[in-house]
């Protein structure tokens, strides 16, 4: 099987990778903040990874994205979503998918520092929103 470059991958594949990267980054941050009880860790993580929170984070950071990143976000937002989680609003889910696609794209590009910037900004936007 031929290795594909991130820009050649379907948006939902980028989102699949981005979901894992984002979830892991959130969990790592929470553990570093001192959360040690698994139930509380899970509850806090969900607060940041749910579709509505990711959509709000994406809206808050749109102006800081490069043209290339905005194009990835557009592709992710317009990807054909086959199934919707029961607790997610359709538009929130599309925007969350766009954020995850961006994170997956940057991660696969090897731009770990930019991934951390995006995740940090997302966290800040979600915390300030609450």
Catalytic residues: 19
Cβ–Cβ < 8 Å for 96, 22: no
Question: Which burial class, exposed, middle or buried, applies to 30 when counting CB atoms under 10 A from its CB (0-12, 13-18, 19+)?
Answer: buried
Residue pair 65/106 in contact (Cβ under 8 Å)? The answer is no
């Amino acid at each position: 099987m031929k290795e594909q470059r991130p820009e050649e991958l379907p948006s939902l594949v980028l989102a699949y990778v981005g979901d894992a990267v984002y979830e892991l980054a959130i969990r790592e941050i929470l553990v570093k903040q001192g959360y040690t009880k698994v139930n509380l860790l899970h509850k806090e993580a969900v607060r940041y990874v749910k579709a509505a929170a990711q959509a709000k984070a994406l809206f808050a950071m749109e102006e800081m994205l490069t043209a290339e990143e905005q194009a990835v976000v557009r592709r992710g937002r317009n990807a054909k979503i086959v199934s919707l989680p029961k607790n997610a609003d359709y538009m929130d889910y599309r925007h969350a998918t766009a954020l995850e696609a961006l994170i997956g794209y940057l991660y696969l590009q090897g731009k770990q520092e930019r991934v951390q910037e995006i995740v940090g900004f997302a966290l800040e936007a979600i915390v300030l929103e609450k």
